[in-house]
Amino acid sequence: MSSLALMRWLESAPERYDRGMQWLTFGRADEIREAIAGEAVKAGTRVVEIGCGTGALSAKLLANGCEVTAVDQNPAMLEQARSALASASAGKIRWIEASAAEIDSLGDGVFDAVATAFCLSEMSPGERAYVLRAAARCLRPGGRLLIADEVVPDQRVQKLVHALLRGPQVLLGWLLTGAVSTPLAGLAAEIEAAGFRIVGNRGWLAGRFRLFIAESKGEAPA
Amino acid sequence: MAIATSTFKHTSLDFVQTALRMLPWPTEAGLRKIGNPGQESPVLITCNYDLTVRRLTRAMQGHDAWLLVAPSSGINVWCAASGGHLSTHQVVSALKTSGIKEKVSHKRAILPQLAATGVIGREVARRCGWKVRFGPVRAEDIPAYLAAGGHKSEEMRRVRFDTRERMEMAAAWGFPTAAVIALLFYFIKASWAAPLALWSIVCAFALFLFYDRLGEPRKLRFAAATALTACIATALVGGGAAALAAAAVSSLLLTALLTVDYPGSTPLEGGAHFAENAWQVKLDPALCDGVFACWEVCPESCFNKLEDPRKVEISHGERCIRCGACVVQCPKDALFFEDQAGQRIEPDIIRRFKLNLMGSRSVEA
Burial class (CB in 10 A: 0-12, 13-18, 19+), B187: exposed
Task: Check if the beta carbon of residue B233 is closer than 8 Å to that of residue B248.
Answer: no
Under CATH, which architecture does the A3-216 domain have? 3-Layer(aba) Sandwich (3.40)
Band of residue A41 on the pLDDT scale cut at 50, 70, 90: confident
- Check residue B135 and give its pLDDT: 97
Q: What pLDDT is attached to residue B258?
A: 65
Give the pLDDT mean for A188-201: 94
Counting Cβ atoms within 10 Å, is residue B276 exposed (0-12), middle (13-18) or buried (19+)? exposed
Distance of alpha carbon B181 from alpha carbon B1, whole angstroms: 39
| Residues B81, B116: Cα–Cα separation, whole Å | 7
Can you give the pLDDT at residue B262? 52
Q: How far is CA B164 from CA A134, B15, B144, B205, in A?
A: 45, 13, 21, 11
Task: Compute how many other C-beta atoms are within 10 angstroms of the C-beta atom of residue A63.
Answer: 12
Lowest mean pLDDT among A48-57, A158-167, B294-303, B335-344: A158-167
Identify residues of B whose CB sits under 8 angstroms from chain A CBs.
Answer: 22-24, 26, 28-31, 48, 71, 73-75, 79, 83-85, 87, 89-90, 92-94, 96-99, 127, 176-177, 180, 257, 260-265, 352-354, 358-361
Which of A3, A99, A179 lies nearest to residue B90, judging by beta carbons? A99
Banded pLDDT at A18 (limits 50, 70, 90): confident
Beta bridge partners of A209: A150, A204
Is the predicted pLDDT of residue A2 greater than 50, yes or no?
no
Q: Mind telling me how many Å the CA of A82 is from chain B's nearest CA?
A: 14
Note the pTM of the prediction, 2 decimals.
Answer: 0.86
Let me know if B354 is exposed, middle or buried by CB neighbors in 10 A (0-12, 13-18, 19+). Answer: buried
So what's the pLDDT on residue B358?
Answer: 53
CB B120 within 8 A of CB B329: yes
The average pLDDT across A36-55 equals 89
Which of B29, B257, B361 lies closest to A1 in CB terms? B257
- Mean pLDDT confidence for A131-148: 95
Q: Do B79 and A76 touch (CB under 8 A)?
A: no
pLDDT at B364: 38
Q: Cβ contact (<8 Å) for A99 and B92? A: yes
> Which range, A31-40, A139-148, B215-224, is most confident?
A139-148
Per-residue pLDDT at A11: 47
Q: So what's the pLDDT on residue B343?
A: 83
> What local confidence, expressed as pLDDT, does residue B2 receive?
62
Rounded Cα gap, residues B50 and B56, in angstroms: 10
**Cβ burial B100-135 (10 Å sphere, 16+ → b, else e):** beebbeeeebbbbbbbbbbbbbebbeebbebebebb
With 90 as the cut, is the pLDDT of residue A196 above it?
Answer: yes
- Chain B CB within 8 Å of residue A185 CB: no
Residue A106 phi/psi, 5-degree rounding, is -85, -10
Question: Cβ B93–A99 below 8 Å, yes or no?
Answer: yes
Q: Chain B contacts of A16, Cβ < 8 Å?
A: none
Average pLDDT for A194-214: 91
Stated as kind and residue range, the H or E segment containing A94 is: strand A93-97
pLDDT at B23: 80
- Contact between A130 and B23 using a beta-carbon 8 Å cutoff: no
Provide the number of CB pairs (under 8 Å) joining chain A to chain B. Answer: 110
In the 8-state DSSP scheme, what is residue B268? T
A215 versus B349: the higher-pLDDT residue is: A215
Cβ atoms B159, B78 nearer than 8 A: no
Q: Domain coordinates of chain A in residue numbers?
A: 3-216
Contact residues on chain A for B101, CB-CB shorter than 8 A: none
What mean pLDDT do residues A43-52 have? 91
Minimum CA–CA partner of B27 in chain A: A124
Q: Give me the pLDDT at residue B365, please.
A: 30
pLDDT of A149 over the 70 cut: yes
Tens of pLDDT, residue by residue, chain B (365 residues): 566 777 888 888 888 888 888 788 889 899 999 999 999 999 999 999 999 999 999 999 999 999 999 999 888 999 899 888 899 999 999 999 999 999 999 999 999 999 999 999 999 999 999 999 999 999 999 999 999 999 999 999 998 888 888 888 888 888 988 898 899 888 888 888 888 888 888 888 888 888 877 777 777 788 888 888 888 888 787 777 777 887 788 778 777 766 665 545 555 544 433 444 567 899 999 999 999 999 999 999 999 999 989 999 999 988 888 889 999 999 999 999 887 778 888 888 888 877 665 555 444 33
The three state secondary structure string of A186-217 is CHHHHHHHCCEEEEEEEEECCCCEEEEEEEEC
**In this predicted model, what pLDDT tens digit does every residue of A87-131 receive, in sequence order?**
877 778 999 999 999 999 999 999 999 999 989 988 889 999 999
Chain A residue numbers with beta carbons less than 8 Å from the beta carbon of B180 are: 2
B307 CA: distance to closest CA in chain A (Å) = 37
pLDDT at B278: 64
* A220 contacts chain B (CB < 8 A): no
